[in-house]
Amino acid sequence: MTTPERRTFAIISHPDAGKTTLTEKLLLAGGAIHLAGEVKARGANRRARSDWMKIEQQRGISVTSSVMTFERPQADGSIITFNLLDTPGHEDFSEDTYRTLTAVDSAVMVIDAAKGIEPQTLKLFEVCRLRSVPIITFVNKVDREGRNPFELLDEVADKLALDVCPMSWPVGMGGEFEGIYDFATNRLFQPHGPSREFDDSFQQFAGLDDPKLAAALSAHGLAKLRDEAELAQGGYASFDLNAYRHGDLTPVYFGSALKRFGVGELIEALARYAPPPRPQPAEPAPVEPERGDVTGFIFKVQANMDPQHRDRIAFMRLCSGRFKRGMKLTPSGTGKPMAVHSPILFFAQDREIADEAFPGDIIGIPNHGTLRVGDSLSEKADVRFTGLPNFAPEILRRIALKDPTKTKQLRKALDDLSEEGVIQVFYPEIGSQWIIGVVGQLQLEVLISRLEAEYKVEAVLEPAPFDTARWLSGEARKLDDFSGINRSNMAKDRDGNPVFLARSAWDVGYQSERNPDIAFSATKER
Ligand code: GDP
């Protein structure tokens, strides 16, 4: 049997660009909808989510990532399954976001036509570039006044250093919006009715010179489309599948998620161009999806989805093999084989329990803390996936208890939450005050709120005399010497690795220059 087709992707965008709206429309277009966040919240438990999720509701943001799956039959009768991994869209993004991007094969970048490339888009793009993740660009909200399409294309090209290839073109925007013209198919999609929504109808033309276009568009709209299309097709790169798949070129689609314009073309583009499951970086050698036995890695752990139960769901990206329920896999963290009896496959619309999964799929594995972010799982215990980093924290705080008798509970909670990737925790060599490290401010709020809700621990955060942290590696003797001299700056992470807490970035530079035998690393790979 051939492996079923998969497209595993994420949407990256700045808050408010329309990611949620686009996600909804993609799922609607795909028919099958199953939200991973609801896996545990069925029936009577539907409301039984832990309190920290209130932060999401109050602030109207999504802190959790989830997996959404939809299918689309192709013209040749085959079915493609799309796995959409959601990334938290808030400006204060966390390591969760980065890690989710390690589990996808491609990404859709949503840009607000009025705003262009915004800071969060850029940050997320840079993470994609690190792994050469190919990007399809969707310029959203053309039903509103936006910037000139040429200006937007140039901005993508300049700010992201990518070749851009317009695949479709908006005929006017905002009040003048008359439709989207698709260059590949010569189809025109137009707004209809009082809602000005896309109603699944289109007109087919022979090309931009087709005289019949005059009946579909205003004279002004048609003249503009012909002029602009000529410039656009002449002035930018033409589509090149290899360049796209290497992450050097981005095809650009114009549309309106709200009014459903461009959504079908986007799915079509994902089906046609986006890469199927890619080989994953691993030791001793990259893992090809064709490899016969099952391998995968954990990119996310979500604990306490239900406050009544202390279990967690580890999200595993399947990299090779055909997964079957009950199969024994060995996590690299413990080295002890575990049988995966009740995996959650998000693909199954009404079934919670998966029977089978294929490379590119995401499997939720319930466990009691044995699985950690970054763990590799395999049948033969012979693979370690690389490139799932911990990131050097940008904000460091001391954590103090309101009730000092709760030290043990706090330690347990911090270990748990750092396993989940919510925070990092450092235990200094001198003194008893533990240090919390995060990449974004929001993680600190989540921490305090979860400590209270899930562990009944009240804690406060205080300024720490450190600005950043680096993982140290090198010869044991050299490390010992260095630690001896710099005791007040030394700590251990939750796995006992030595960490240098620095007063400033300058401090890091200074120390690494003076200690050429020690590597000061801003990321730590598990
Ligand atoms: P997110 O923060 O990226 O998930 O953005 P949302 O999907 O929540 O959208 C932010 C706002 O933009 C909402 O008010 C949406 O209704 C609106 N919006 C999203 N897509 C479009 C669009 O294509 N056209 C218009 N006019 N508004 C849109």
Residue 121 Cβ < 6 Å to ligand 1: no
Residue 13 Cβ < 6 Å to ligand 1: yes
What is the whole-number distance in angstroms between the Cα of residue 524 and the centre of ligand 1? Answer: 36
Alpha carbon 8 to its chain's center: 11
Name residue 197's beta-bridge partners.
Answer: 192
Closest-CA residue, ligand 1 atom 14, reads 16
Residue 19 Cβ < 6 Å to ligand 1: yes
How many Å is the Cα radius of gyration of the chain?
Answer: 25
Whether the Cβ atoms of residue 448 and residue 417 lie closer than 8 Å to each other: no
19 is in an annotated binding site: yes
> Would you state the CATH architecture of domain 6-272?
3-Layer(aba) Sandwich (3.40)
The SS3 assignment for 328 reads strand
Write the DSSP assignment of 478-508 as a string of letters: HHHHHHHHTGGGEEEETT--EEEEESSHHHH
3-state secondary structure 279-296: CECEECCCECCCCCCCEE
- Pairwise CA distance, residues 250 & 106, whole Å: 11
Tell me the residue ranges of DSSP E strands in 321-438: 323-324, 328-331, 338-339, 344-345, 356-357, 362-367, 376-378, 384-385, 389-391, 395-401, 424-428, 435-438
Q: Which CATH number fits domain 282-385: 3.40.109.10, 1.10.20.10, 3.30.50.10, 3.40.50.300?
A: 3.40.50.300
- Pairwise CA distance, residues 177 & 190, whole Å: 9
| Predicted confidence pLDDT, tens digits, the chain (526 residues) | 466 899 999 999 998 999 988 988 887 776 544 333 333 333 333 332 333 344 444 433 333 446 888 888 878 888 898 999 977 655 555 667 778 888 999 999 999 999 999 988 888 888 888 788 999 999 999 999 999 999 999 999 999 999 999 999 999 999 999 999 999 999 999 999 888 989 889 999 999 999 999 999 999 999 999 999 999 999 999 999 999 999 999 999 999 999 999 999 999 999 999 999 999 989 889 999 999 999 999 988 876 555 555 567 888 999 999 999 899 999 987 889 999 988 877 654 444 455 789 999 998 888 887 888 888 999 998 898 887 666 667 789 999 999 889 999 999 999 888 877 778 899 999 987 899 998 777 778 888 988 998 899 999 999 999 988 999 999 999 999 999 999 999 999 988 899 999 998 889 989 999 999 999 987 775 5
Residue 526 Cβ < 6 Å to ligand 1: no
- Pairwise CA distance, residues 418 & 413, whole Å: 8
Closest-CA residue, ligand 1 atom 16, reads 258
Read off the amino acid at residue 428: P
What is the whole-number distance in angstroms between the Cα of residue 55 and the centre of ligand 1? Answer: 21
If one counts every other C-beta atom within 10 angstroms of the C-beta of residue 216, the result is 17
Whether the Cβ atoms of residue 257 and residue 175 lie closer than 8 Å to each other: no
What is the whole-number distance in angstroms between the Cα of residue 390 and the centre of ligand 1? Answer: 32
Q: Is the pTM of this model over 0.90?
A: no
Task: Judge whether 6-272 and 389-525 match in fold.
Answer: no
User: What is the ipTM, given to two decimal places?
Assistant: 0.99
Sketch the domain layout of the chain as residue ranges.
Answer: 6-272, 282-385, 389-525
The CATH number of domain 389-525 is 3.90.480.20: no
What is the whole-number distance in angstroms between the Cα of residue 442 and the centre of ligand 1? Answer: 22
Residue 143 Cβ < 6 Å to ligand 1: yes
Residue 15 Cβ < 6 Å to ligand 1: yes
| Substitution site in 258, 261, 263, 266 for ligand 1 pocket (most atoms within 8 Å of beta carbon) | 258
- Name the phi and psi angles at 125, rounded to 5: -60, -40
| Substitution site in 12, 13, 21, 97 for ligand 1 pocket (most atoms within 8 Å of beta carbon) | 21
- Pairwise CA distance, residues 233 & 228, whole Å: 8
Name residue 203's beta-bridge partners.
Answer: 188
> Of 205, 227, 201, which is closest to residue 215 (Cα–Cα)?
205
